[in-house]
Amino acid sequence: MLSTSSSENHRSGFIALIGRPNVGKSTLVNQLVGEKVAITSPVAQTTRNRLRAILTTEDAQMVLVDTPGIHKPHHLLGERLVQSARSAIGEVDLVVLLLEGCERPGRGDAFIVKLLRQQPLPVLVALNKWDKLPEDRQAEAEAAYGELLKETAWPIHRCSALSGEGCSALSSAMAAQLPLGPQLYPPEMVSDQPERVLMGELIREQVLLHTREEIPHSVAVTIDRVEELPAGGKGGGRTAVLATVMVERKSQKGILIGKGGAMLKTIGQGARLQMQTLIDGPVYLELFVKVVPDWRSKPARLAELGYGVES
C-alpha cells in the first residue's frame, strides 16, 4: 500500500543523475521508474532536455533529474548541455554519480569527481554496466575506482541499468538519503514532460538508431500538431501527429529521407509504434524534414527548441 503524504517516515526530494555521456543515465531512469520516460541510444549525448521522472515507492517519492553528460563543450549546444548539468546540481537533494564500471576511470571522471567534491550535497556512486565486466576483471576495476574516489566517503553501488541488477538496492539507498517530506506528485505520475515532448524524443531516438556519424547531433524535432481523428472517417479513432525533423544541411536531409523515402519510412514506423505505447492507442504519424542551416549555433533557435538555459 502507498503511504500517504502525511506519513511521518515518508521521504521525498530531487535527485540529479550525473555522469559522462553514454554512461547509462537514461537507461537507469527507465529501469528505476519501470517505464520508458527517457530515450536511450548507443550514440553519446543523446539527452538534451533535463527530464524529471518520478519514482514513487512505498515510503518515498524520488524526482529524478536526468542531465546531459558532462563533457568539454565543442559548440554552443554543447555549452548549454554542460550549463544545464551544472545548474541541476544546484537544485537537488542528492546526486547519483554514474560511472562506467566496465571501463577504466579516465580524466573526465576525475573532472566530475572534483566538481562534486566542491559542493555540499550527499553523493551516491553507481558503478554501472557491471554486467559487462568479466569476473576476473572485477577486482582490478574496483581498485581503479577506489583510487578515483579515495578522498570521498561516497557509498558505492554496483549495478546494471540494463538488466536491473543492483538497481533496487540503489533505489533504497537513494530514498534513505532524502529529507522527510510528503509526496510531491500524484503517485501514478511518472514524468512531468508533456506528451508532445516525449513524442518528439521518440522520433529523435529512431533517427539516432537508424543513422550514424554526422546526422545524430544535427537533428532536432518539433511536434507541429496532435489531433484526434473522429471515429468513422478515414483513419478514424486514431491520433494524428504531424512532426518536423530539422537538420543542418541539404545532404543530411537526403540521408534522412533515403532512397525512395525508405529511411524516413523506417524512422516513422519505429516512432509510431513507440508513440502508440506512450498514448495507449493507434497513431497516424506524418514526418517532414526541413533544412535549417546551423541551427545548433543560433541562440534563438535553441531557445525555441527548448534548449535554453534554465535558471
List, as residue ranges, the binding site for GTP. 19-26, 66-70, 128-131
Say if residues 107 and 72 touch (Cβ distance below 8 Å): no
Residues binding ligand GTP (CB under 6 A): 19, 21-27, 40-42, 44-47, 68-69, 128-129, 131-132, 160-162
CB of residue 6 to ligand GTP, shortest distance in Å: 35
The nearest distance, CB 38 to ligand GTP, in angstroms, is: 7
CA proximity to 289, closest of 204, 183, 162: 204
Annotation: binding site: 19-26, 66-70, 128-131
Residue 52 backbone class (left: φ over 0; alpha: ψ -120 to 50; beta: rest): beta
Parallel/antiparallel/unpaired status of strands 60-66 and 51-56: antiparallel
What single letter denotes the amino acid at residue 216?
P
CA proximity to 47, closest of 79, 72, 24: 24
Nearer to ligand GTP, 106 or 187 (CB): 106
For residues 205 and 207, what is the distance between their CA atoms, to the nearest angstrom?
5
| Nearest to ligand GTP of 44, 292 (CB atom) | 44
In the complex, minimum distance from the CB of residue 29 to ligand GTP, in angstroms, rounded to a whole number: 8
**Smallest gap, in angstroms, from Cβ of residue 7 to ligand GTP?**
33
Nearer to ligand GTP, 212 or 225 (CB): 212
Nearest-approach distance from CB 67 to ligand GTP, in angstroms? 8
β partners of residue 117: none
Nearer Cβ to ligand GTP (228/310): 310
> Which residue lies nearer to ligand GTP by CB, 13 or 108?
108
As a whole number of angstroms, the longest Cα–Cα distance in the chain is 67
For residue 244, the SS3 value is strand
Report the distance separating Cα 86 and Cα 80, nearest Å.
10
List all residues 6 or more positions away from 192 whose beta carbon is below 8 Å from its beta carbon.
52, 54, 185
Q: Which residue is nearest to ligand GTP (CB)?
A: 24
Integer CA distances (angstroms), 32 to 50, 266, 285, in order: 17, 29, 30
Smallest separation, CB 32 to ligand GTP (Å):
12
